[in-house]
């Protein structure tokens, strides 16, 4: 049932070895989650950002995702065409607009998250026994500290 995550059999791995293995394993998990059917990742990323942070300009969205504003404008246009986001004029600057998540965009995002979590739940139950799941739960606190560093 259990498989070794690290390719390096070292009992007391160095920080560089841990960093390498952690990046590799987390990358595989993220790629597997992204492989679930649904809208393209770029669109989901924008919807997720709007859900987490609220309305934003195209420039702000582009900067947050390290994209060119022109590319973000195209993504926002595609989302707007599907009714997943809407534009609202900036009351303090009429040349600028805020992009907002619509109810339909929120529903799509929630469905996508539920689908990914369903796969992950099934994988955890299938691949890990209760003790391993408890160990993973404890490790989440450590991963959270690293993510917030």
b/e string for 60-86 if b means 16 or more Cβ within 10 A?
Answer: bbbeeeebeeeebbebbebbeeeebbb
pLDDT class for 11, splitting at 50, 70, 90? low
Beta bridge partners of 99: 56, 87
Residue 6 DSSP code: -
pLDDT above 90: percentage of residues in the chain: 69
Q: Above 50 in pLDDT, residue 8?
A: no
Phi, psi of 127 (to 5 degrees): -95, -20
The pLDDT score that the predictor gives to residue 9 is: 54
The pLDDT score that the predictor gives to residue 10 is: 55
Region of 49 (left: φ > 0; alpha: ψ -120 to 50; beta: rest) is alpha
Tokens of 42: 């770029």
pLDDT per residue over 23-66, tens digit each? 999 999 988 888 878 788 889 999 999 999 999 999 999 999 99
Domains belonging to the chain, first-starting first, are 15-37+107-148 (no CATH), 41-102 (1.10.10.10)
């Amino acid at each position: 049932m259990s498989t070794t995550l690290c390719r390096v059999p070292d009992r007391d791995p160095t920080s560089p070895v841990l960093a390498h293995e952690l990046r590799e394993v987390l990358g595989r998990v993220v790629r597997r989650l992204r492989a679930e059917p649904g809208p393209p990742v770029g669109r989901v990323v924008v919807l997720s950002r709007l859900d987490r942070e609220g309305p934003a300009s195209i420039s702000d969205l582009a900067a947050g995702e390290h994209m060119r504003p022109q590319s973000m404008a195209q993504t926002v246009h595609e989302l707007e065409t599907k009714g997943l986001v809407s534009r609202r004029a900036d009351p303090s600057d009429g040349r600028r607009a805020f992009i907002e998540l619509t109810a339909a965009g929120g529903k799509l995002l929630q469905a996508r998250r539920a689908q990914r979590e369903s796969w992950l739940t099934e994988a955890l139950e299938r691949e890990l026994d209760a003790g391993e799941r408890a160990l993973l739960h404890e490790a989440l606190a450590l991963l959270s500290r690293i993510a917030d560093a």
